[in-house]
Amino acid sequence: MNENNMFNKIDLKTNSLIVLVVLLYAISVYFIFSQYGLLDYYRLSIYSSMLYLSLINILLIKAVVYFVKYTRRPFEEKGLKVIANDFVNRALDKSYLINVAVPMLVLPPFFSLFSATKSNIHRIHDFTWDPTFMTIDKMVHFGVDPWKITYAIFGGTYATLFLNFIYNVWFGVMFFFVLWMIVSVDYGKIRFQFLLTFLLTWIVIGSVLAIIFSSAGPVYYGRITGDSSVFEPLMTLLKSINEPLKDNYFYIYALDTQEYLWDAYKSSEVQLGTGISAMPSMHLAIAALLYFTARELNRKAGHIFLIYLVLIEIGSIHLGWHYAIDGYVSILLTWLMWMGAKMISNQIYEEKE
């Protein structure tokens, strides 16, 4: 078997596995929703508009990546003819186009299913774990509520605004990182390992475990349990910091988002980004995955994403989104899935070597 056929065989295996994982998730969600009378919430098109936005951004990413590579070429390998040939070669490369098209087409319905699932967690399993996680959180941190630790260090207005900004750009960072990995077909083994782990984190951490350990998080603790004494001081502190900033461009956006999610929860709406879930934390799972991937590709990039991971963990506590252990558990589970995906990726790509 020649190298070309071998490469296509690997493409077939990796893309088939990606489609299979998404298909099994879709079937599982359908079955669970049917058991709980939730089929009216079964949606595949919530994120359909993201496909068009993704295509536009892919063109931007490709242009930037190509520009960087082009500028590093020797002078004799530059010119309009070279650019045209490069473009035509990629445009006619069926293997490349399929590798890009498969994840691009399955991710919008996948995220639509995830959003529908997250928005219905409380209908499948009531928020019952918050008191337990609050207690464990305090025990793990030597009897101190973790948010008191973060405020002792980052309690100032500018530090809080910075953490709020870092936490809010998480979606954008993830979005561009995923698109970059999708188009970076040449990364081969690492790319597939990333994509497989990415899907598994949303399924295992964001869906299965989120349902089993159904919890709302510190910001909603008082509303869910009726005990406002535990985290009300945290929310009061956040609001006091935000009060002078309400008319500014930069303020604590998290407070508005938290109310938006609560209103959607109370009105039973399923929209973009709705749904309440604390344990485990998807913010930390994805931040950890970006770090694991970046350090494999570039040492300096790995250091940057490690700092980003730490800031996301601090921000999740500081802004009342999560118990500290939500993040700890997510990081550990993501690493385990990353290593499992590595074993699968190595086994598939061994045929190429």
pLDDT value of residue 340: 97
Helix axis angle, 282-297 relative to 324-349, nearest 10°? 40
By the 10 Å C-beta count (0-12 exposed, 13-18 middle, 19+ buried), 340 is classed as middle
pLDDT score recorded for residue 98: 87
Q: Is 73 contained in some domain? A: no
In a domain, 82, yes or no: no
pLDDT on residue 199? 97
Structure tokens at 32: 């669970």
Instruction: Output the pLDDT for position 217.
Output: 95
Give a yes or no: residue 282 inside a domain: yes
What pLDDT does residue 81 have? Answer: 63
pLDDT at res. 320: 95
Phi and psi, residue 289, nearest 5°: -65, -40
pLDDT at residue 63 in the model: 67
Look at residues 288, 301, 252, 277 and name the one whose alpha carbon lies nearest to residue 154.
252
Residue 159 lies inside a defined structural domain of this protein = yes
| CB hemisphere CA count around 314 (13 angstroms) | 21
- What is the pLDDT at residue 238? 93
**pLDDT for position 184:** 87
The answer as to whether 119 is a domain residue is: yes
pLDDT tens-place values along the chain, 353 residues long? 334 444 578 888 999 999 999 999 999 999 999 999 999 888 777 766 666 666 666 667 666 666 666 666 666 566 566 666 666 666 666 788 888 889 988 998 899 899 899 989 999 999 999 999 999 999 999 999 999 999 999 989 999 999 999 999 999 899 889 988 998 888 889 999 999 999 999 999 999 999 999 999 999 999 999 998 899 999 999 999 998 887 778 888 899 999 989 988 888 777 667 789 999 999 999 999 999 999 999 999 999 999 999 999 999 999 999 999 999 999 999 999 999 999 999 999 886 54
167: Cβ contacts below 8 Å, ≥ 6 apart: 254, 283, 312, 315, 316, 319, 321
Q: d(Cα 61, Cα 41) in Å, to the nearest integer?
A: 34
* C-alpha closest to that of 194 among 175, 218, 211, 178: 178
d(CA 162, CA 180): 26
* pLDDT for position 89: 64
How many whole angstroms separate alpha carbon 11 and alpha carbon 179?
18
| Total number of domains constituting the chain | 1
User: Does 316 map to a domain?
Assistant: yes
Domain of 135, in residue numbers: 3-48+97-352
Residue 88 lies in a domain: no
Q: Residue 90: inside a domain, yes or no?
A: no
